[in-house]
Amino acid sequence: MPPMSANPPVNWDALVDEAVETLCRFIRVDTSNPPGNERAACDFLGAILTREGIPFTLYDAGDDRVSLRAVLRGDGSKRPFMLLNHTDVVPVQRQYWDRDPFAGEIVDGHIWGRGTLDMKGLGIAQLMAFLTVKRLGVPLARDLVFFAQADEEAGSEFGMRFIVREHPETLEAEYVLNEGGGGTTELFGVERAVYSVAVSEKGPLWLRLVAEGRPGHGSMPHDDNALDRLVRALYKVQTWERPLSVSPVLTEYFSRLKRAGVYKGEATVEGLTEAAASDLRLRALLMDTISVTTAASGIKHNVIPARAEATLDCRLLPGVDPAVFQSAMEAVIDDPKIRIERVHVRSSDANAYDNDFFRTIEDVVHDMVEDAVVVPGMTVGFTDSAELRNRGQISYGFSGGLTKPELMAGVHGNNERISLESFRLNCQMVYEITRRMCVIGS
Ligand SMILES: [Zn+2]
């Protein structure tokens, strides 16, 4: 048998054709969460792995909430490398789509469908990298793990959180490649390929404010109206002035972008405060945010309600203690008759990025996209990386695709689609990062 090559040639045209066809079929497996039904996704992925002669294990959290894990064995000289993805997608509002979100069609050079960006596209790019390593017999210095998780979109109770609780040994990995980062063709109005490697993310703190008071007749106002109380509390929350905070990751993010001429302002708190005043995305990166998302009270037009409640979607910067934030909010509301209930919380600190994983991603991007800028970044939403970072692991969000800003609205929105060109680049980068991280002699 000839010695296995560390960098065998890849027939990219054939491989990308196969990847596109696989992604289209994967889109047709409707895994809208709720209910998720990730067993169907695992059946789909499992059939492919079986055909390739790769064994896998299913992790069943009940009610067809299933995750799948497969491993290609390395010589063990390094700790494992994990390709992490989730198979569920957020539900669609079909009436706002121009195409069927679950048809997996190719229209005008784009693959359409729920999950193309978040994150079946990246999941299939990871799967193809995994299969290619196996098919070409790339000699591995470490185990290469492919882990497809359930329930990420609804908080991971039946996916990553279940795995952390019940099967933590399956998560052993020196480095994890997950969703949360990637390339954009334009940033701050400047046309330039910018790739963000997400080394941190904001944490959700979902709160419910509950006011209780005395019911009564609408014709006789009194000062213990639960809805009045809630409105006052919400007003205080909305006018609560909180400072901007530039975390170390973002200091590096903005200074790299400034050096590249992409961010034109000053990378100081003062400069960023000014810029953030007119840029929602920037503001979300620089402060703990609060959105009031629901409010409910009252039974009849002429009855003073005895109860009123509202939900707040707070998103905290990495390193901010949710308990400290919640007591600060309590002090701002300053009303013992407002109860604050905690519905969901998840927080994590930033990963370091002075390591061979980050440098490998940088190198691969620079080799494949001329003039690209690579920055460490922060995901504004949440991902399963938080659970891994809390276990002390390095889990980066990165996708090799280069997405036009206008297509980003498709993530959790309508008309989600990915260009064929961007998907090809994603497949190539994910494979090359995986190969360089895992191959013997790297
Ligand atoms: Zn996602």
Q: In sequence order, what are the residues at sequence separation of 6 or more whose Cβ sits closer than 8 angstroms to the Cβ of residue 414?
A: 92, 93, 96, 97
My answer on whether 29 and 141 are in the same domain is yes
CA of 411 relative to ligand 1 center, distance in Å? 8
My answer on whether 147 and 216 are in the same domain is no
How many whole angstroms from its chain centre is CA 224? 43
CATH number for the domain harbouring residue 78: 3.40.630.10
Residue ending a domain, among 345, 361, 384, is: 345
Residue 100: helix, strand or coil by DSSP? coil
CATH number for the domain harbouring residue 265: 3.30.70.360
My answer on whether 134 and 256 are in the same domain is no
- Residue 59 CA to residue 39 CA, distance in Å, equals 10
> What b/e readout covers 180-218, taking b as 16+ CB neighbours within 10 angstroms?
bbbbbeebeeeebbbbbbbbbbbbbbbbebbbbbeeeee
Going from the C-alpha of 224 to that of each of 72, 304, 305, 336, the distances in angstroms are 65, 9, 10, 13
CA of 122 relative to ligand 1 center, distance in Å? 10
My answer on whether 219 and 70 are in the same domain is no
Considering the domain boundaries, does residue 369 fall inside one?
no
Considering the domain boundaries, does residue 361 fall inside one?
no
CA of 153 relative to ligand 1 center, distance in Å? 6
Number of domains in the chain: 2
Residue ending a domain, among 303, 319, 345, is: 345
Considering the domain boundaries, does residue 371 fall inside one?
no
Residue ending a domain, among 320, 345, 370, is: 345
My answer on whether 116 and 221 are in the same domain is no
Considering the domain boundaries, does residue 378 fall inside one?
no
Considering the domain boundaries, does residue 380 fall inside one?
no
My answer on whether 128 and 219 are in the same domain is no
My answer on whether 173 and 227 are in the same domain is no
Q: Residue 94's closest CA among 85, 103, 86?
A: 103
Considering the domain boundaries, does residue 192 fall inside one?
no
My answer on whether 219 and 106 are in the same domain is no
What's the whole-model pTM score? 0.94
DSSP assignments along 233-297, one per residue = HHHHHHT--------HHHHHHHHHHHHTTS--S-SSHHHHHHHHTT-HHHHHHHS-EEEEEEEEE
CA of 270 relative to ligand 1 center, distance in Å? 33
Give the structural domain span for 244: 201-345
Considering the domain boundaries, does residue 185 fall inside one?
no
Whether residue 415 contacts residue 99, with contact meaning beta carbons closer than 8 Å, is answered with yes
My answer on whether 101 and 223 are in the same domain is no
Considering the domain boundaries, does residue 375 fall inside one?
no
CA of 152 relative to ligand 1 center, distance in Å? 7
CA of 225 relative to ligand 1 center, distance in Å? 42
My answer on whether 169 and 220 are in the same domain is no
Residues within 5 Å of ion ligand 1, judged at the Cβ atom: 118-119, 179
My answer on whether 52 and 130 are in the same domain is yes
- The conformation of residue 95, written as its DSSP 8-state character, comes to G
- Sign of the CA dihedral with 386 first, then 313, 247, and 364 last: positive
Whether residue 410 contacts residue 416, with contact meaning beta carbons closer than 8 Å, is answered with yes
Task: Please list the pLDDT of the chain residue by residue as tens digits (442 residues).
Answer: 456 789 999 999 999 999 999 999 999 999 999 999 999 999 999 999 999 999 999 999 999 999 999 999 999 999 999 999 999 999 999 999 999 999 999 999 999 999 999 999 999 999 999 999 999 999 999 999 999 999 999 999 999 999 999 999 999 999 999 999 999 999 999 999 999 999 999 999 999 999 999 999 999 999 999 999 999 999 999 999 998 999 899 999 999 999 999 999 888 888 898 888 888 889 999 999 999 999 999 999 999 999 999 999 999 999 999 999 999 999 999 999 999 999 999 999 999 999 999 999 999 999 999 999 999 999 999 999 999 999 999 999 999 999 999 999 899 999 999 999 999 999 999 999 999 999 998 7
My answer on whether 143 and 241 are in the same domain is no
Cis peptide before 34 (omega within 30 of 0): yes
